[in-house]
Amino acid sequence: MDKVVLSPEKKQYQEIGEDLRAQIIQGLYPVGSRLPPERNIAETYGVSRTIVREALLMLELQGTVDIRQGSGVYVTRVPAENEAEEEAFFSSDIGPFEMLQARQLLESNIAAFAAKMATKADIDNLKRILEQEQRAIAINDLSQDNCKMFHLVLAGASQNQMLLATVESIWRHMDSSPMWQQLRAHIDTRSYRLKWLGDLQTILAALRRRDVMGSWQAMWQHLENVKNSLLEQSDSDAPDFDGYLFESVPIFQGKLM
């Protein structure tokens, strides 16, 4: 299949999702059939796998496909040709991987700054949150989002209210985003919560050492782990990853950019 040229007037994930939906309507992929692997779709459209995943999430929320871990993406229904209300529903939704990218850029630098600025009270609060999450995982308690609380308290540990307000704004976007909530549902399990707990414990350990570079790297890697775990959910061929959302880590000569 030749590469498809995308229009600059729409979000990339929307245009890809609409094109895949049109192919399903045309009968190219009947109900029960499997869509091509994400890697192949990405090559066809000349975009990253994160953009493809956002397009597939859009279709999953519409009830058109089902993303199955370790198996692939399967067509569950043929949508109506005119579903303008669903297009409008997604028109203002920022892609979840775009949100993760913003968080990775911002929160890694916040963690580095907090390594210098955090008070003993901040460190104690972060420690209590992780202890609370450890107890919650043990009894499968989902009543509190301790991961979110950790990130917000860490932002506050920068002692910069603008940075805290910015992180709070990103989390509000995520909490109100249907696509982010759909994506998160794929990894809201005990095993993943244990994985994130380990990541956050690494971040806290670096903060306690006042290790600026270590704090930056620990936060960057945590959000990278989240991204890769989300991408791994639907691909059965498990391709190798670049390691980062960007071509290289933005560090030069051991210093932050």
Q: What is the pLDDT of residues 160-191, one digit of tens each?
A: 999 999 999 999 999 888 888 877 777 778 88
Same domain (yes/no): 19, 141: no
* CATH number of the domain encompassing residue 76: 1.10.10.10
User: Based on the structure, what is the number of domains in the chain?
Assistant: 2
Same domain (yes/no): 61, 172: no
Q: Output the pLDDT for position 4.
A: 55
**14 has pLDDT over 60:** yes
End residue of a domain, out of 33, 58, 90: 90
Same domain (yes/no): 81, 201: no
Whether the full predicted model's pTM is greater than 0.85, yes or no, is no
Same domain (yes/no): 132, 171: yes
Instruction: Tell me whether residue 142 is exposed, middle or buried, using C-beta atoms within 10 angstroms of its C-beta: 0 to 12, 13 to 18, 19 or more.
Output: exposed
Q: Which domain holds residue 84?
A: 12-90
What letters, b where the CB count within 10 A reaches 16 and e where it falls short, cover 93-110? bbbbbbbbbebbbbbbbb
**249 found inside a domain:** no
Paired residues of 75 in beta bridges? 65
- The band of 251, judged by pLDDT with boundaries at 50, 70 and 90, is very low
> What's the pLDDT tens digit per position in 118-160?
999 999 999 999 999 999 999 988 888 999 999 999 999 999 9
Q: What is the 3-state secondary structure (H, E, C) of 188-205?
A: CCHHHHHHHHHHHHHHHH
